[in-house]
Amino acid sequence: MNLSNTLLFRGLQEKDIDSLLGCLNATKRSYKKGEIILSEGSITENIGIVLSGRAMISCSDIWGNSSILSDVSPGSVFAEVYACIPGQPMLVTVSATEDTSILFMNVGRVLTTCTNACPFHAKLARNLLTVCAHKSLQLSQRIRHTSSKSIRGRLMSYFSKCAKQFGSNSFLIPYNRQQLADYLNVDRSTMCNELSKMKRDGIIEYDKNRISLKV
């Protein structure tokens, strides 16, 4: 992956990033599909960025009911909030939904000027603030998607956002049916029935993760 194309390293050249990664004590790790990357209750000082593959951020209640908060695609950052709060236990679990490669960076070295007086830390810190702002926006969007009392309303809110994001009425969503139900906080079988009704009503067409809106 070309890290200069990611939000965290935006505005930095590849040669500068290579130098910066040494200052950040960056390490690369690989995970198999289904493997836990960071578990609820753990403490981390590292920011993670997905180099390849995909990860999911979820939380569970004491009865084991799971809710998906977000999908982490290549180039996306995770655990930045917890890394910035020393000693804060994770309230979520990050797991690989396919074989995934992660680059971890120590947040303390991001926020503190290194002994080498590396000139790129200020830019990186500003980018990190932008990443945090984007995450806040994503959580606000999920709240909006789940605010409707009807399953159809929640589905249409999410699909509308996807259509605008991809600039097309036909798009791929990153979730399977169970994951989509968890994300929208609805029952899977009831949601699948509603999808079938929406298809019969001529509102959508779908083929696995491909959704097409009829507008």
Domain locations along the chain: 3-144, 149-213
Confidence of residue 207 (pLDDT cuts 50, 70, 90): very high
pLDDT score recorded for residue 113: 63
pLDDT beyond 80 at 158 = yes
Q: Rg of the chain's alpha carbons, rounded to an integer?
A: 19
Cβ atoms within 10 A of the Cβ of 119, count? 11
Instruction: Supply the pTM of this predicted model.
Output: 0.78
Give the position of tokens 């960056």. 26
Element (H or E) spanning 70, and its range?
A: strand 66-72
pLDDT digits (tens, 9 = 90+) for 37-95: 999 999 999 999 999 999 999 998 888 888 899 999 999 999 999 999 989 999 999 99
pLDDT digits (tens, 9 = 90+) for 22-31: 888 899 999 9
| CATH 1.10.3720.10 for domain 149-213 | no
Confidence of residue 123 (pLDDT cuts 50, 70, 90): confident
- CATH hierarchy code of domain 3-144: 2.60.120.10
d(CA 181, CA 173): 12
The token duo for 188 is 């899977």
